[in-house]
Amino acid sequence: MRLQISGQFSINVRCIMETALYTALNSVKVLRSSVGEVYDTLGNGLRADHGEDGKDTKFLFELQELLSTVNINLRDVEQAVNSLSPPPGPFNLGNTAYLSQESTQDRQALYSQLVNSYKWTDKVHEYSSLAATLLSQNSLKRSYINSSTAKRRRTQTSSHNVPAQAVDTVINTIDRLFSDMSVTITRPFATNALLQHVHVLQISLGRVLKAVIAFKGLMIEWVVVKGHGETLDLWTESRHKVFRKVTENAHAAMLHFSSPTLPELAVRSFMTWFHSYITLFNDPCKRCGNHLNSSLPPTWRDLRTLEPYHEECKP
């Protein structure tokens, strides 16, 4: 008796779900039809049955009625969709299983395609859940933060809130290392307590290029490279393709050398790498031996050896 009641209950639930789904699909069908009428009316424009007197007003009134109908149908769709309950699990193929028995030649491959589609969808759900788990573990952040609060540890120093004197010391040391590279540091928000750790470096690399680098403490946040004849700012890119390529490579190097635990070494390594562009228009590509490729000089510098490469030739 209990099994009979349970089976009857499951059948009733299934019927209710099918009815709700049918209602939602029918509401969508009605909405599409009403939207189609609006587009037909707009496409036909003024008609002869509008007459000559007040035809614009009649056309606008007709269009307003059609839009009101669309609004009502859209509300019906929203109500029908809200009444639907999410499926408890993956959809069953149901009668589509009999497609494999189809004798018509052009329909025989349909079942296998459906199966592959469902398998692909399941894989997407599986991989997305795994990716969400991995991304929530702080693996792509540029600072070492332990999500576990079980153990109390000493607060680690952050490279974002380094005192201005320490930043000046590092920058002055780098400025003395390279005689053909001038570095000027400014603090546009020195009076703001929240932004006092923001520093902006203006770099002139010989007669080759200029650059502006934004720091937060000793962490490089942004780099823009331009030519000497251009206005230097953080917001607009260079009008020359060669300097836009150098800017892209500088962003890659900025992330490569980033080290929250050794910020001074990270800044010094980046500046050494950036100084190698002093020969941007002189040195040939290390691989092909040419100065130009696609009308561009070697805009890439190896992160370890500082050797010049074209974008198409870099290892």
Could you tell me how many residues make up the chain?
315
Contact 232, 202 (CB under 8 A): yes
Interatomic CA distance for residues 277 and 298, integer angstroms: 10
Interatomic CA distance for residues 105 and 85, integer angstroms: 38
Strands 209-216 and 198-205: antiparallel
pLDDT of residue 5: 46
Interatomic CA distance for residues 14 and 196, integer angstroms: 63
Cα Rg, the chain, nearest whole Å: 33
Nearest to 297 by CA among 286, 314, 309, 313: 309
Interatomic CA distance for residues 150 and 172, integer angstroms: 42
Interatomic CA distance for residues 198 and 285, integer angstroms: 37
pLDDT in tens, the chain (315 residues): 444 445 554 556 667 777 888 888 899 999 999 998 888 888 887 777 777 777 788 888 888 899 999 999 999 989 888 888 776 666 565 666 566 565 565 655 666 777 788 888 888 888 888 888 877 775 555 555 555 544 455 545 566 677 888 889 999 999 999 999 999 999 887 766 667 778 899 999 999 999 999 998 889 999 999 999 999 988 899 999 999 999 999 999 999 999 888 889 999 999 999 999 999 999 999 999 999 999 999 999 999 999 999 999 998
pLDDT of residue 10: 56
**Side by side, which strands form the sheet with 219-226?**
181-186, 198-205, 209-216, 219-226
**C-alpha neighbours within 13 Å on the C-beta side of residue 257:** 25
Domain layout of the chain by residue ranges: 2-82, 164-280
**C-alpha neighbours within 13 Å on the C-beta side of residue 47:** 12
